[in-house]
Amino acid sequence: MTSTGNFSQRVDALRKLIAETDAIIIGAGAGLSTAAGLDYAGEDFRREFAPWIERYGFTDLYTSGFYPFATEEERWAYWARHIWFSRFRTGGTELYRLLLEKLSERHSPQTTFVLTTNVDAQFELAGFARDRIFATQGDYAYLQSASGREKDLVYCKDWVFRAMAATEDCRIPSSLVPRHPRTGEALVPNLRCDDTFVEDDRWHRQAERYHDFVRQHSQGRLLLLEFGVGFNTPSIIRVPFEHMALNFPQTALVRFNRDYPDASLEGLEGRFMAFTEDIQQILNEL
pLDDT in the model for residue 226: 98
Please list the residues that pair with 28 across neighbouring strands: 116, 227
Rounded average pLDDT over 247-264: 96
Give residue-wise pLDDT tens across range 94-143. 999 999 999 999 999 899 999 999 999 999 999 999 999 999 999 999 99
pLDDT in the model for residue 158: 98
Expressed in angstroms, the distance from the first to the final Cα of the chain is: 16
Whole-number Å distance between alpha carbons of 70 and 148:
23
Whole-number Å distance between alpha carbons of 229 and 208:
22
State pTM to two decimals. Answer: 0.95
Please provide the size of the chain in residues: 286
Give residue-wise pLDDT tens across range 201-251. 999 999 999 999 999 999 999 999 999 999 999 999 999 999 999 999 999
- Cβ-contact 21, 15 below 8 angstroms: no
